[in-house]
Amino acid sequence: MNVASAETLALNALGFLVNSSEDLDRFMALSGVEPAMLRVRAADPEFLAAVMDFLLANEKLLKDFCEAEALDPRTLHIARRALPGGI
């Protein structure tokens, strides 16, 4: 997976979080991002990596996102490796 594809997937994940106020609130609390900064930070690859980390750390959330996007969870792990800090 290339960086552009990984970033697109992370943006889709962010959109998924935006549709769940409880999950979005928890993500913002953990990341320290204010609601007004979400659009600005969405262009930051490190922020997108944090979105992926958040999903990958919560099995239910990961499963729900993968079902909504018709993805295999392994795809998110692969995408995460393409973003900053990926192993």
For 61-83, the pLDDT digits (tens) are 999 999 999 999 999 999 999 99
Q: Is residue 67 assigned to a domain?
A: yes
pLDDT class of 21 with cuts at 50, 70, 90: confident
Which among 49, 76, 46, 48 has a CA at the least distance from the CA of 61?
76
Look at residue 21 and tell me if it is in a domain. Answer: yes
Which residue segment(s) compose the domain that 59 sits in?
A: 3-82
Query: 48 with 11: CB under 8 angstroms?
Result: yes
Q: How many structural domains comprise the chain? A: 1
Residue 22 lies in a domain: yes
In a domain, 87, yes or no: no
Query: Which are the contacts of 54, defined by CB distance < 8 A and separation ≥ 6?
Result: 17, 27, 30, 31, 61
In a domain, residue 32? The reply is yes
Answer yes or no: are the C-beta atoms of 10 and 49 closer than 8 Å: yes
Range 37-56 average pLDDT = 93
